[in-house]
Amino acid sequence: MNSQKSNVTRLPAAVLKKSCIDVFTAVGVPAADAEVIAETLVLTDMRGIHSHGVIRSARYIDCIKAGGIKPAAELQILNDSPCAVRTSAAGGLGIPAASKAVEIAMARAERHGVAVVTVNHSDHYGAAGIYAMRCADRGLVGMSMSNTCPLVAPAGGAKATIGNNPFSYAAPGGKYRAILFDICMSVVASGKLIIAAAEGRKIPKDWILDAEGNPTDDPNEIWHDAIMLPFAAHKGYGFAVMVELLSAVLAGSGITEDVKSWNLVPGRDADTGHCFIVIDPEFFGGLDEFKKRTDLLIDRLVATPPAAGVDRVRYPGEIEFGREADAEKNGVPLPDSSVGELRRAAEMTGVKLDF
């Protein structure tokens, strides 16, 4: 372990989790909540989504220290029907709130076949796919989505007036673990722009607009309030609106500009919203049958002859599951930026790290 390889450090998941638990409990997060945050952030890094892993720990703590997030808030039930539940995170951390909400959704779906649970007055909930995969690992079909502060221009627009709203679904397989899909609404994630900038490359003109709303092929605009464009124009725009309808309009959380950026204004209540839709295949012909049929679907997809220059066709989630298995075996590979933010979280909270 601990071997350094091109700016990546491998650390045991247990060590990382303990570090996360320590920094969050140090700022007043209840032990059970700190544990679920640790589990979530580390698993996200294990799946290779480093932008949403332990790198976020320091910023969550910035928000707690600035008063924008209440560390010990408890999830409140606002409307409670057997399979339709509206909750509030009461200004608390997004990850524990979302974890409790999806737990309710799974339990209700197992009893009634389907359940929808919304969360309002929440904050950044990490990687959307974490919650969808909890469903799949429990034999359920899960959808997970959240709105964000405005980051993306509507199709035809020249200003960021809607969030880069993440959407994920997952479904269980048999010989294959699951199908997992987890995306945001922009053409590319900001990480790709940062890489292009570092390599001095131009980018296609349909990726971003500059801060004034003009087309640009310069990835460095990411450092100057660039506006993200939605994937496939009106299609990405329409999916962003769907997430806003379910996570904000239905949930009762901030709509578009009423969601505050936890990155830019850590002391402000973000009022982010989430929505979870869970379906139990036992009510539709049985889980065993469902898993077999998911396997058949995957078998057929991966058997597709590959296009020129492609080794083989993959199913959604295959890459993430491969990384997770590798991290379990060889330790969690962390970029320097992730290690740095975890160290900053430790410094802020007076925690001594075991690495």
From 65-73, 89-97, 263-271, 310-318, span contacting a second copy (CB under 8 A): 310-318
188 three-class SS: coil
**Tokens read off for 46:** 């294990």
Binding map of a second copy across residues 64-83, x = CB under 8 A, - = no contact: --------------xx-xxx
Please say which residue, 22 or 318, places its beta carbon nearer to a second copy: 318
**Tokens read off for 155:** 């199709």
From 26-34, 69-77, 122-130, 280-288, span contacting a second copy (CB under 8 A): 280-288
Cβ atoms of 85 and 118 closer than 8 Å: yes
Measured in degrees and rounded to the nearest 5, phi and psi for residue 228 equal: -75, 145
Among 4, 200, 307, 352, binds a second copy (CB under 8 A): 307
Closest among 335, 152, 169, 307 to 232, alpha carbons compared: 152
Question: How deeply is 81 buried, as exposed, middle or buried, from its count of CB atoms within 10 A (0-12, 13-18, 19+)?
Answer: exposed
Cβ atoms of 93 and 60 closer than 8 Å: yes
User: What residues from 286 to 305 belong to the interface with a second copy (CB under 8 A)?
Assistant: 289-290, 293-294, 296-297, 300-301, 303-305
Q: How far is the CB of 190 from a second copy (least distance, A)?
A: 16
Q: How far is the CB of 113 from a second copy (least distance, A)?
A: 3
**Residue 124 annotated among the catalytic residues of the structure:** yes
Pairing of strands 8-11, 167-172: unpaired
Q: How far is the CB of 99 from a second copy (least distance, A)?
A: 20
Please say which residue, 152 or 342, places its beta carbon nearer to a second copy: 152
Binding map of a second copy across residues 104-123, x = CB under 8 A, - = no contact: --------xxxxx-x-----
Sheet architecture: strand order including 227-228: 162-163, 150-152, 227-228, 208-209
Please say which residue, 14 or 77, places its beta carbon nearer to a second copy: 77
Among 26, 76, 190, 283, binds a second copy (CB under 8 A): 283
User: What residues from 194 to 223 belong to the interface with a second copy (CB under 8 A)?
Assistant: 209, 213-215
Please say which residue, 289 or 336, places its beta carbon nearer to a second copy: 289
Q: What one-letter code names the amino acid at 133?
A: M
Binding map of a second copy across residues 240-269, x = CB under 8 A, - = no contact: -xx-xxx-xxxxx--xxx------------
Q: What one-letter code names the amino acid at 125?
A: Y
Using the rule CB under 8 A, is 306 a contact of a second copy? yes
Cβ atoms of 287 and 293 closer than 8 Å: no
> CA-CA distance, 72 to 74, in Å (whole number)?
6
Enumerate the active-site residues: 124
